[in-house]
């Protein structure tokens, strides 16, 4: 089943969009993140580093103002670990339709019309 995934900034701007294929409609939030990261790393490596990783934009520390030079190949496990860590540190949250799963092991039911949104949180200075 293909699912439409988009990244959104705290202001509502769409910063990245992609389609991701899942083998089953019952998955966990962790599996959703894994599938997204896997697809992005594959696309990035096929493009030989000539694109950015959307998950990197979501998972980088809020205080980081510029990206470091990206490697020509990305490692799935490294990027997946970063994405999980960033979720646990509340750098982004995920909306599946109109639901917000809070736990990585929470089950999600995907439908053909399901929209998934990764929302990057930006913290205000001094707050």
Mean pLDDT of the chain: 85
Output the six-digit token pair for 60: 């980088």
Q: What is the pTM of this model?
A: 0.84
Q: Are 93 and 121 in contact (CB under 8 A)?
A: yes
Sketch the domain layout of the chain as residue ranges.
2-120
Question: pLDDT confidence of 22, banded at 50, 70, 90?
Answer: very high
| Axis-axis angle for helices 76-88, 29-46 (nearest 10) | 140
Q: What is the pLDDT of residues 42-89, one digit of tens each?
A: 988 888 766 666 666 656 554 443 444 455 788 999 999 999 999 999
């Amino acid at each position: 089943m293909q699912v439409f995934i988009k990244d959104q900034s705290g202001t509502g701007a769409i910063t990245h969009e992609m389609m991701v294929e899942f083998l089953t409609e019952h998955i966990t939030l962790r599996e959703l993140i894994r599938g997204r990261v896997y697809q992005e790393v594959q696309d990035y490596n096929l493009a030989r580093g000539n694109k950015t990783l959307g998950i990197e934009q979501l998972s980088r520390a809020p205080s980081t103002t510029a990206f470091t030079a990206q490697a020509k190949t990305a490692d799935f496990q490294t990027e997946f670990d970063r994405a999980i860590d960033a979720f646990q540190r509340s750098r982004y949250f995920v909306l599946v339709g109109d639901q917000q799963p809070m736990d990585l092991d929470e089950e999600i039911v995907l439908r053909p019309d399901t929209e998934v949104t990764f929302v990057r949180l930006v913290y205000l200075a001094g707050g």
